[in-house]
Amino acid sequence: MSAKVTFNSDRCKGCELCTTVCPKHIVAIDTTVINRKGYHPATVTDISQCIACASCAKICPDSIITVEKF
């Protein structure tokens, strides 16, 4: 199984809640990027480890994360 996690990064507010719930610890804040709102957005560091549990998407207050598996 492989997974795809899409972030609507321009709407991310960098709250980091998604980074606390990932069982694989692969969701992190990307400090090399500043988005349209002026925040460092969240990203997935190693998509090969993703199990598509969608925990990050469920806790995202701004509903900017879409999770797919195939």
Structure tokens at 7: 């972030």
Region of 38 please: left (phi>0), alpha (psi -120 to 50) or beta.
Answer: left
Q: Which of 27, 41, 43, 55 forms a contact with other proteins (CB under 8 A)?
A: 55
H or E, element range at 51? none
Distance in Å from the first CA to the final CA of the chain: 6
**49 is a contact residue toward other proteins (CB under 8 A):** no
Q: Is 59 in the site for other proteins (CB under 8 A)?
A: yes
The interface with other proteins within residues 8-47 (CB under 8 A) comprises 11, 13-17, 20-21, 39
Write out the residues near other proteins by the rule CB under 8 A.
3-4, 11, 13-17, 20-21, 39, 52-55, 57-70
